[in-house]
Structure 1
């Protein structure tokens, strides 16, 4: 065998089992290993961006949140088809919410919704995260909520299947489908860089939805609304208030 042939054969041997340039090799793993690595990337995330939608009897909620493990959050939630949009800022246990008139009317039926929208006049409602008026939306504005809601338990090794390659917003991924808890879902796990979970699709907790995850490790913006543009939620409960 010539020296060239030996060199080519040796190079071929070295390349067997290695990832393509820029790849992380995750697509070569068994399906349950891919699923668990994707799951762990969400469970150990200190911060990330969550974009998704869930459907229930009242309609479709579309969210775009940047969240971290310290309880900080910045984002928006919209309701389809009723319309309306709300901005959310959460810093620790302080929460600010700014719903537009359509969102307020959709969430608070009758005259109360209209009255609250008029009282706010485009300002932020401010209160504590455990306030009953704010808890419903502020509770989901946290990394721990995602970790509990989407992937509470590992996939069973005998109940997960590897799918096809895909792109999630331009990022290469491999899909796996299986059961995690009561829901059967499909995960999209990045095949370049760290094997981050990029997308979840399927039935979770009786609600069908989809969520995209990105910007792992990026800090949540720290700016909060100024007092002059905020109304304490307790003031909306005073005589003449509507909350």
Structure 2
């Protein structure tokens, strides 16, 4: 499983493009007491399955990119192709939403400048598109990485070798919930830490990658909560073909 937070970002921001750490002080509870003495690798495997099986969830995260750019995202997604949230990077920001096969993006000026990048026939399009919802054709929205829950969470399990050789850390709190830290050091100095809920379903509450080229963190929450999404009003939607004509 790729427990690296950056694997979620590869899926989640394939399109276009600070959260503070929520880890509290280590608790006095012995990590060996939780999960009935299961090994770290078994706990990691159970956590991946529980997280992938949830009906919906919220993902908030950030990732440092080469060159100093930082990507941030905050979105909620469910099994019924409902999705809503924001993403930012390279000085740009955009809102995204999806209802079934209908996907929309509303970017600021910098977002559209980065997206169009002086492509022929797009002169003047930035002014027409910025701040407006732009409807995308199915499969061409650029939001698929964010809004396909199954594909997104499949990235957690893309490399099962990464959940081998985990070690238990301390129990702590992530956003008020008790969690056990599972840790692994990678060649080259990179460290992976996954925080697993110790009460209720063993959801992954947070994944952190330290060191390496793209340090990052992702916090997961709102498991199985309904994702409320409404399509934008027709008057707020711009046809990109007309804007770039």
- TM class by shorter chain equals 0.7 to 0.9
TM-score by length of 1: 0.74
> 13, 16, 32: which one pairs with 2:41?
32
Partner residue of 2:22? none
> 214, 221, 241: which one pairs with 1:214?
221
Contact 2:66 2:214 in 1 (8 A): no
Contact 1:96 1:127 in 2 (8 A): yes
Counterparts of 1:53-92 in structure 2, within 5 Å, are 53-57=62-66, 59-79=69-89, 82-92=90-100
1:148 aligns to what SS in structure 2?
helix
Shift of 1:69: 1.9
TM-score by length of 2: 0.73
Bigger relative contact order, structure 1 or 2, given CA contacts below 8 A and separation 6+? 2
Q: Which of structures 1 and 2 has the bigger CA Rg?
A: 1
Counterparts of 1:144-159 in structure 2, within 5 Å, are 144-154=150-160, 159=165
Where structure 2 has 5 or more consecutive residues not aligned to the other structure, the ranges are 1-28
Aligned length in residues:
209
Residue 231 (str. 1) matches residue 238 (str. 2): yes
Q: CA deviation digits over 1:31-64, x for unaligned, max 9? A: 1121112111222122100111233346221010
Partner residue of 1:189? 196
Contact 1:52 1:64 in 2 (8 A): yes
1:218 aligns to what SS in structure 2?
coil
1:144 aligns to what SS in structure 2?
helix
